Amino acid sequence: MAGVPPVIRPGHFPTRRKSCRSWAGRRVVVSIQVPKGGQSDEKEQSSTSTSGGATATTAASGGVTVTTAASGGPTVVNVVGGEKSSTKYYLTATPASVPAGPTTFTFKNAGTMVHEVIVLKTDTPADKLKVGANHEVSEAASVGEDSETKPGKTKSTTIDLKPGKYVLACNIERHYEKGMFTAFTVT
Ligand SMILES: [Cu+2]
């Protein structure tokens, strides 16, 4: 019987002391800020992840790509180019055939030197273009290009393509001769 009161008293005193400190002490501010801060953080995180799940991610990954994907208009052609060796360069286009209309050529320079992509509208086979003394092909038939792009970089251009046969080529000196071209078709 004698042990019961002492147990209860200590329990009440700490409670009262906390209450008193809450009103009179500065520590109250700290104890209140912690739970509120935790709640607000959770709300911010959930709202950010919800809204950013699709929209923010797409926007951050590529401003140019977002425009084309969101509008649903231009067909996107991914062009990749670089060097296989010092004498053999390459250029690929995916897809290699698209329907007529606005087309975005996104060129990724996967090589170690500057490259470009010229879009030539010509019936001449991709590997039969005439090369000048300057080791470049004529750009008279060009309908657009992703100009000189540094290694690892990407450039995009949108061109309203008409049906026909095309050749994509890098026209930096000697690059076409080293195989930096590919056939392309618009239907
Ligand atoms: Cu090149």
Q: How far is the CA of 116 from the centre of ligand 1 (A)?
A: 6
Please report the pLDDT score of residue 72 as a whole number: 72
pTM score, whole prediction:
0.63
pLDDT digits (tens, 9 = 90+) for 159-186: 999 999 999 999 999 999 999 999 999 9
Instruction: State how far the Cα of 170 lies from the Cα of 46, in Å rounded to an integer.
Output: 47
C-alpha 169 – ligand 1 centre gap (Å): 8
Q: Give the ranges where the chain is alpha helix by DSSP (H).
A: 4-24, 27-51, 57-61, 63-71
Residues of the chain with CATH 2.60.40.420: 72-187
Distance 17 CA to ligand 1 centre (A): 78
The CA 100 to ligand 1 mean position distance, Å, reads: 26
Q: How far is the CA of 158 from the centre of ligand 1 (A)?
A: 20
Mark the ranges of the chain whose per-residue pLDDT is less than 50: 1-70
Cα(111) to centroid(ligand 1), Å: 9
Determine the topology of domain 72-187 in CATH. Answer: Immunoglobulin-like (2.60.40)
CA of 175 from ligand 1 middle (Å) equals: 5
